Amino acid sequence: MENTRRNFLKIAGISALGFGVGSLVSATTQVEHEVAPTQQPAEHNTEKLPEPKPVENVKSESSTQSAVKTAGRWGMAIYTSKLTEPIRKKIISACHVTHNVPHMENKRHEIKWIWEEPYTHAFPENEHEYIDEKTHTQPFLTLCNHCNNPPCVRACPTKATFQRADGIVLMDFHRCIGCRFCMAACPYGSRSFNFRDPRPFISQLNMDFPTRMKGVVEKCNFCAERLEMGKMPACVEVSEGTIVFGDLHDPNSEIRHILKESYTIQRKQNLGTMPSVYYIV
């Protein structure tokens, strides 16, 4: 009983961090939507939350990157050519297990936080007839770009999706009414809708992260719950150095050094969304 209560309190804490309490651990604790029907569409839901409390510089066990702290704007750089298939699979699995992402056999019901896309889909504007074979054929890892100018946030009528002061675009599942305006607004397909109750399709339940419910949208959260604990994102930890995560506002950060020294591309940069995910090609 005490254990159950501790788990509940832990998950409630994560929910308070901005993930909502739309669903906690089991179907028996399902929370109903409580969004007032009279809420007006937000002009721009860039809710600037209070600065997150500074955390101790705790280096996670398997991460080779420097310890995590708060950031002016979190960003990610991916070494695309170093990503072998086993590493890609490990990354996807780490993210999906950490966040209770269900595995749906039906592709139309698929829930994706990080997934593979062919170059032609990921970077259609960079496509040309003489592009080298390797770039053209290798799969790219794609996820929410945590855009600095996020159209999904502007489209959401309930502020269920919002942008934090450190740039992370989050979901409050409790507020989501499942209208899917955000999905229509996102030009990257980074959001998934729960057509079914996802809980029966979670192979390995992580009691430290809330599950979702039928009728809500979800996506990558840049591991905000791990950053809060001084840990690197789960995908970064298992990436064997192929993903670098850090503060884009800090000129001395590793990610800034990499961006200075390497040629990088971003997804659909011409749309003005200002992605925070960079691909080193």
Sole window of 55-63, 120-128, 215-223, 247-255 interacting with ligand SF4 (rule: CB under 6 A): 215-223
Site for ligand SF4, residues 228 to 267, rule: CB under 6 A? 233-235
Sole window of 6-14, 51-59, 103-111, 144-152 interacting with ligand SF4 (rule: CB under 6 A): 144-152
Question: d(Cα 241, Cα 62) in Å, to the nearest integer?
Answer: 11
Residue 13 CB, shortest distance to ligand SF4, in Å, is 18
Are β-strands 114-118 and 74-79 bridged in parallel, bridged antiparallel, or unpaired? unpaired
Q: Which is nearer to ligand SF4, 16 or 184 (CB)?
A: 184
Which of 78, 122, 168, 169 binds ligand SF4 (CB under 6 A)? It is: 169
| Contact flag: residue 68 with ligand SF4 (CB under 6 A) | no
Which of 24, 155, 202, 259 binds ligand SF4 (CB under 6 A)? It is: 155
Q: Which is nearer to ligand SF4, 131 or 177 (CB)?
A: 177
Question: d(Cα 248, Cα 108) in Å, to the nearest integer?
Answer: 35
Measured CA distances, 138 to 119, 133, 135 (Å): 7, 8, 6
| Contact flag: residue 180 with ligand SF4 (CB under 6 A) | yes
Other CB atoms within 10 Å distance of the CB of residue 201: 17
What secondary structure does DSSP assign to 236-260, as a single string? HHTSTTSEEEEETT-TTSHHHHHHH
Determine phi and psi for 207, rounding to 5 degrees. Answer: -70, -10
Q: Which is nearer to ligand SF4, 190 or 211 (CB)?
A: 190
Q: Which is nearer to ligand SF4, 87 or 144 (CB)?
A: 144
Determine phi and psi for 244, rounding to 5 degrees. Answer: -115, 135
Which of 162, 222, 278, 279 binds ligand SF4 (CB under 6 A)? It is: 222
Mapping DSSP to helix (H, G, I), strand (E, B) and coil, where does residue 141 land? Answer: strand
| Contact flag: residue 217 with ligand SF4 (CB under 6 A) | yes
Q: Which is nearer to ligand SF4, 199 or 231 (CB)?
A: 231
Listed residue (218, 217, 220, 219) closest to 178, CA to CA: 217
Q: Which is nearer to ligand SF4, 100 or 199 (CB)?
A: 100
Are β-strands 277-280 and 74-79 bridged in parallel, bridged antiparallel, or unpaired? parallel
Question: d(Cα 14, Cα 16) in Å, to the nearest integer?
Answer: 5
| Contact flag: residue 221 with ligand SF4 (CB under 6 A) | yes
- Which positions touch ligand SF4 (CB under 6 A)? 95, 99, 113-114, 143-147, 150-152, 155-156, 158, 160-161, 169, 176-182, 186, 188, 190-191, 217, 219-223, 233-235, 273
